[in-house]
A and B are shown apart, each in its own frame.
Chain A
Amino acid sequence: MFHWLEKNPFFFAVGVFLTIAFAGAVTILPHFNKSAQPVKGLKPYSVLELAGRHVYIKDNCLSCHSQLIRPFKAETDRYGQYSLSGEYAYDRPFLWGSRRIGPDLHRVGNYRTPDWHANHMWEPTSVVPGSVMPAYKHQFTNIADTETAYAEAVTVKTAFGVPYGDDIQPGRAAYEKVLKSKVLPEALKIATQMKNKDLIARVKAGKIPEVVALTAYLERLK
């Protein structure tokens, strides 16, 4: 039997493959259903929040921030209730991060406000002296891509049954409608709370700056 493995490249390859695959099959597959169940009352991300999430990914905030509060007293004291599996049920991809150069953000919506974010994203050291976080001034001029966010909402609704309302439908007409009736008003609310005239004017003109979408997302993290 072992003779085969050593001499025949094909059987050898199969042997290696089975050995590698076995561990994955047993550790990962059985838990797929269970950990995918959302906690009670969890709402899917709104289109604006999704767009903000894309900004978070695009500027790769996860290289410095985690979104995973571990069950230790020191962490719950600092950040709040520890994270539950079901809270991530609509996170595609997950954004736990792997390094905390900055603090955890999983519940940042509980203790920061939109206008705090507006100042902080513009110039972190003006709010927290000594911060090593870069200023993200370009987010105040770049426009958030709500269309891609909408496309993603449609996709996860269709493919994975994420419970979005009936207004989330394929096609440009449906998108324009949601943009006008939901996304822009939501953005205006955030921009108003951010107390930045420039941002308000832009949203009123139908263009949502990245930082507004991002703040909507950060506000949602609770």
Chain B
Amino acid sequence: MSMDQLSIYLYVIGSGITVVVFYSYIVYLYRSEKRGEKDYEKYGRIAIDDEIDSTPVETVSDPANKNKE
């Protein structure tokens, strides 16, 4: 197989995979929010409530968050 063919195969397969991953990510985002597992929109608050002593949206040392990992 020539390098040209190889790269065309790689390209087709690669973009195929990426498209699948990308769309399943969209599905994942909306599904997990619908099921109530996640709330993405709350992360938007990180920017507007950003004093050093304000409560983080998710605390690093919070055991509740550790468990989810």
Contacts and interface: CB of A to CB of B under 8 A. Distances in A.
* Chains A and B come from one and the same complex: yes
Interface of A: 2-3, 7, 19, 22, 26-27, 29-31, 33-34
Interface residues of B, number: 13
A2 B6 contact: no
Task: Tell me the dominant secondary structure on chain A's binding face.
Answer: helix
Q: Which 4 A-B pairs have the closest CB atoms?
A: A30-B7, A30-B3, A26-B10, A26-B11
Interface of B: 3-4, 6-7, 10-11, 14, 18, 25, 28-29, 68-69
Most B CB within 10 A of own CB, among A2, A27, A33, A34: A2
A30 to B, nearest CB: 4
Contacts, number: 23
A29 B11 CA distance: 12
A2 B14 contact: no
B14 A22 contact: yes
Nearest to A5: B25
A34 B3 contact: yes
Contacts of A19: 18
Contact of B3 (A2, A27, A33): A33
